Homo-oligomer: A and B are copies of this chain.
């Protein structure tokens, strides 16, 4: 069964708190399992979330600050320990290659998994697959940073009543899908358009074109909101977003489900993040808590 859901591993920016682990997300997208920005402790948070290392097919790092990548060594080593032998690509900004190599080989272990770095050297498609395309878009954080989005191509959904009306069933359905027609019956006659879904992952950054480009039409947007808007000057200075900024981008971009995360330790309570985002965004809103799961419905 194809499941598309986000698993929140941690929600802290920079330093953990009593309630929050370092940042990290896992995106289950049909057969693909994307680990996004694993901060320290990601290995154990995956365990608590019931996600085995073997579910990870790909890893994306937005940038090489510690709170977004210090969980990588533990995950890399756990993949080997669990005997995963298929390749696991890791995408990261090319200027971070030296640090990536250190994290990849951080300590002594029996290295059996083909974890291989795929440095992002420019904006654009970094991978294609059954999921469609995975694209990297530059952000503005002082250090080279890329956000990512998954873009599924538009497709068509078969309509059972129409298939039945034309007497098409069983293996003939697959044949019709593959060839676009079956005798006189065309694919268009028995199906309806199904828009591809989009997932976007935006952190860390101040407002910039990349934020808008990534968010555009996202069914699910995970975006940093390190600060509340009363601290917008701090956000700007440190290259981060406020909840209001993130929610405004989401509203303008027609986002379906908005997930705010990556909160500064200065805010012990997250209620204000929800209130601030609600003022400008009226879609589904999740102010992320540890181990939250956010399902993306088709």
Contact = CB atoms under 8 A, between A and B. Distances in A.
B40 A16 contact: no
A65 B107 contact: yes
Interface stretch (A66-74, A131-139, A167-175, A246-254): A66-74
A47 interface: yes
B66 A109 contact: yes
A73 B47 CA distance: 22
A77 interface: yes
Nearest to A78: B15
A77 B99 CA distance: 14
B44 A22 contact: yes
A270 B284 CA distance: 44
A47 B16 CA distance: 8
A14 B64 CA distance: 26
Interface in A15-48: 15-18, 21-22, 40-41, 43-44, 47-48
Contacts of A18: 47-48
Contacts of A234: none
A89 to B, nearest CB: 19
Nearest to A265: B47
Nearest to A142: B108
Nearest to A21: B44
Contacts of A233: none
**Which of A43, A66, A70, A107 has the largest count of B CB atoms less than 10 A from its CB?**
A107
B106 A65 contact: no
A189 to B, nearest CB: 53
A162 interface: no
Interface string A70-96: 110110011001000000000000001
Contacts of A14: 81
A143 interface: yes
A168 B134 CA distance: 81
Q: Which 10 residue pairs of A and B lie closest in terms of their CB atoms, listed nearest first?
A: A102-B102, A16-B44, A66-B107, A41-B41, A40-B74, A64-B108, A66-B77, A64-B107, A99-B107, A70-B73
Given A64-B108, A102-B103, 16 more contacts: A14-B81, A15-B81, A16-B43, A16-B44, A16-B47, A17-B47, A18-B48, A22-B44, A40-B73, A65-B109, A66-B73, A66-B106, A69-B107, A70-B106, A70-B107, A99-B107
